[in-house]
Amino acid sequence: MNQKIEEILAAISELRANTEKEIEELRIKYLGKKGEVTALFEEFRNVLPEQKREFGQKLNVLKNAVQSKIESLKENIAETGAAKTSCDLTKPGDRMDLGTRHPISITREEIISIFHKFGYTVAEGPEIEDDWHVFGALNFPPEHPARDMQDTFFIHASDNPVLLRTHTSSVQVRAMEKMDLPIRVLCPGRVFRNEAISARAHCIFHQVEGLYIDKGVSFADLKQAVLLFAREMFGEDTEIRLRPSYFPFTEPSAEVDVSCNICKGKGCNICKGTGWLEIMGCGMVDPNVLEASGIDSKVYSGFAFGMGIERIAMLKWQVKDLRHYFENDVRFLRQFETVI
């Protein structure tokens, strides 16, 4: 036993460790339950009584020596780590690069703030919807192309299919079902359509749709609301024109164009020489849509409109490729650092 004690004392004097893990391994090797020093204490039971005093003192000296060495190694590593992490607090700090708001978020908030002045509140709804709120309640016939898998992402097919909403009109339906009349609501959100991704189209995009229902609402009210919005968004000299169109949930329906804010109506490559830029669709809410949501169409009338946020942002900042909005390229996003 004397020889073993001397061997361990000689070994620990040469111990080295560079990490806390290595120190822990050494501790276990010597002082663990199956460690070398622990084994000597187990062997101490078999020592003759007259030798116990001598060997007991030597074992205690050995154990203390091992513990001291372990503590010394820990202190060395702590000092080395402190030296590595120490810094000169008098040095100037590194500049922190701040992020910027995304152009889609900027445009969305601007649209909402404009209609907030007109008394509109914001409503939101689920992106995963049922067929009734996306199509059925909005007067889409069963054979309408939008119900086809070539246009819509279906999650579950059944008697009432589950799908990714193709427009935020589904939020308007939920508003008509739950809100008290009159209703003046704005519905922003992300929508999904099964389209090939290109500079002019994407399978994910953002919409803002508006709905106003009250007694005596007319198409003249709709035209005035759209005109006021266009002048707030694109400038006070902006003019609008309405072209007849078709949507299942509005009748009559129209496409809205604004005078090109680049060429001032003279014609350029942005407006394709027409002097006009399309910004939204709109129309008077179809009586069938009102009745489907429990609103008496003989007493109430209303109008609805919808626009793509990407489209408005493209026109406002002359962005020619829709994909820039989804790629998170900081070179593109930094161009909007000064936009409030």
State the total domains in the chain. Answer: 2
More confident residue, 142 or 232: 232
Shared domain check, 285 and 144 = yes
Q: Where residue 221 falls among pLDDT bands split at 50, 70, 90? A: very high
b/e per residue 170-194 (b: at least 16 CB within 10 A)? bbbbbbbeebeeebbbbbbbebbbe
Shared domain check, 223 and 286 = yes
Q: How far apart are the first and last CA of the chain?
A: 81
| Residue 308, both tokens | 């793509």
Q: What is the model's pLDDT at position 8?
A: 76
- 257, 311 in Cβ contact below 8 A? no
Shared domain check, 24 and 149 = no
> Helix 309-317 vs helix 103-117: angle between axes, to the nearest 10 degrees?
100
Residue 228 maps to a domain: yes
Report whether pLDDT(99) > 80: no
Q: What is the model's pLDDT at position 340?
A: 55
Shared domain check, 77 and 108 = no
Q: How many CB atoms lie within 10 A of CB 65?
A: 17
The model carries a pTM of 0.67
Size of the chain in residues: 340
DSSP string spanning 178-210?
Answer: HSPSSEEEEEEEEEE------SS--SEEEEEEE
* Whole-number Å distance between alpha carbons of 167 and 165: 6
Q: What is the model's pLDDT at position 271?
A: 75
More confident residue, 241 or 73: 241
Q: Where residue 266 falls among pLDDT bands split at 50, 70, 90? A: confident
Mean pLDDT throughout 165-180? 94
Residue 265: exposure state from Cβ atoms within 10 A (0-12, 13-18, ≥19): middle
Q: What is the model's pLDDT at position 32?
A: 82
Mean pLDDT score across all residues of the chain: 85
Which residues fall within 8 angstroms of residue 159, CB to CB, at 6 or more apart? none
Out of 39, 59, 85, pick the residue that ends a domain: 85
Residue 325 maps to a domain: yes
Handedness of CA 38, 43, 49, 54 (dihedral sign): negative
Q: Where residue 228 falls among pLDDT bands split at 50, 70, 90? A: very high
Q: What is the model's pLDDT at position 85?
A: 55
Point out the least confidently predicted range of 1-10, 158-167, 314-323: 1-10
Q: What is the pLDDT of residues 25-45, one digit of tens each?
A: 878 887 787 788 777 777 767
Residue 278 maps to a domain: yes
* Whole-number Å distance between alpha carbons of 287 and 300: 9
Report whether pLDDT(83) > 70: no
Residue 95 maps to a domain: no
Domain residues for the domain of 232 are 103-336
Residue 290 maps to a domain: yes
Q: What is the model's pLDDT at position 57?
A: 80
Mean pLDDT throughout 220-244? 93
Q: What is the model's pLDDT at position 1?
A: 63
Beta partners for residue 141, in sequence order:
none
Shared domain check, 171 and 41 = no
Q: What is the model's pLDDT at position 267?
A: 74
Shared domain check, 77 and 183 = no
Shared domain check, 161 and 202 = yes
- 183, 120 in Cβ contact below 8 A? no
More confident residue, 283 or 269: 283
Q: Where residue 123 falls among pLDDT bands split at 50, 70, 90? A: very high
Q: In the 3-class helix/strand/coil scheme, how is 220-286 assigned residue by residue?
A: HHHHHHHHHHHHHHHCCCCCEEEEEEEECCEEEEEEEEEECCCCCCCCCCCCCCCCEEEEEEEEEEC
DSSP 8-state class, residue 300: -
- Strands 121-122, 183-192: pairing is parallel
